[in-house]
Amino acid sequence: MSHITLRCTECGAVRDADMSALRCEECDSPLEVAYVDTAPSTPSPQPPRWAGAPIPLPLHDAVVSLGEGNTPCVEMAALGKLLGLRRLYGKLEFLSPTGSFKDRGTAVMMSVAREQGVTEIVEDSSGNAGASVSAYAAKVGIKAHVFAPASAPAAKVGQIRVYGARTHSIEGSREAATSAAVDFHVERGLVYASHNLSPYFVEGTKTFAYEIADQMQGDLPEHVVVPVGNGSLFLGAWRGFSELKDTGRIPRIPRLHCIQASAFMPIVAAYQGIEWTAQPGAMTVAGGISAADPPRLREILRVLRDSSGVALAVEDEEIIRWQRLLAEEEGIYAEPTSAAAFAGLESLVRSGHIGNSESVLVPVTGTGLKDAPPP
């Protein structure tokens, strides 16, 4: 991978690209991909799937794909009317191969793993990322160990298992599953393919922004409202829009807003400058954003600042209400995590952060079929 290096997101230190490199050797901050030459792209027939975005792979056949990307953007007229918005769009990420947007990031991360000859990996996930990594690992013959909280939905754990991954059920919080995964990878000397830390994962999620630019035909939404746990889609969207603006393909970047569940709101607390600590045994119906300690918190705060975005938290009751509204008004059965973004959108409109004459896009990040049905 001579056309890329890895760069620290905080101190800017540069190191050679390596699948096992997740943090800066100087200050222990997360890393990002830096392109030495932005010309390389994916080999045929993949380019349409990657939406013309530069990716961290040279020109050969290491790329692994299950058909991710190219998810539709649909106008949500009924919900737009309910909210008093001129235009509201949903990007249907739940139509990805394993049922969530995570396939975008996994495709790039596992392509890099394949290129570097990795044969066994460790991941931790509350569900969707574990299923995605397990599927792509199966595609390329890599053995996967997935650590998940014991409280993860049975359907998501079952999906991980059906791909042949070894599942490790961990009692306690989401962070306990992460700690167990880290200990396991250190003890066994395995690659930790963390979707929360891997710089390659974000390089996959940025295709979300490239597709929006293509699908909206120059008429970009003024706001993008994203449910955020550890922030891979949020950061990928910013990276993609930034690249597009820097190369003159779009004139501006939409305002990016961050929505969290009130039980897990470290980003909202940092954005608002208030003290917050996860309560013991805290739970939310939006399991996909139940992250108490996101490793890329500072990056997310910078994106909020630079895009003039807002971070806010919503209650589970509102999440469930919007999960039902999506189904009843638009025929979309979304996971609670996705519904959280719509609950947050309602608050953004009511507070005046989003005007009624402005256009909004919300990613429907995952399918409701993998969660318990709403009460």
pLDDT in tens, 117-161: 999 999 998 789 999 999 999 999 999 999 998 888 888 899 999
Domain at 73-100+201-370, CATH from 3.40.50.1820, 3.40.50.620, 2.60.40.1080, 3.40.50.1100: 3.40.50.1100
Tokens of residue 62, six digits: 């290491």
Bigger pLDDT: 184 vs 53: 184
Average pLDDT on 186-193 reads 95
Q: At what angle do helices 128-140 and 154-162 cross, to 10 degrees?
A: 10
Nearest to 359 by CA among 183, 186, 212, 237: 212
Total residues found in the chain within this entry: 375
The reported pLDDT for the residue numbered 49 is 55
Number of C-beta neighbours around residue 110 at 10 A: 32
Please tell me the pTM assigned to this model: 0.94
- Per-residue pLDDT averaged across 162-187, rounded? 92
Type of residue at 282: A
The residues, ordered by sequence, that sit 6+ positions from 300 with a Cβ below 8 Å of its Cβ are: 228, 231, 234, 235, 258, 267, 294
What would the mean pLDDT of 326-332 be, rounded to a whole number?
98
CA 63 to chain CA centroid, Å, is 20
Give the domain ranges of the chain.
Answer: 73-100+201-370
Distances (CA, A) of 320 to 22, 49, 58, 340: 36, 33, 44, 8
Which pLDDT belongs to residue 174?
A: 81
11 near 28, Cβ under 8 Å? Answer: no
Q: Is the pLDDT of residue 61 over 70?
A: no
Note the Cα 168 to chain centre separation in Å.
22
CB-side neighbour CA atoms (13 Å) of 35? 14
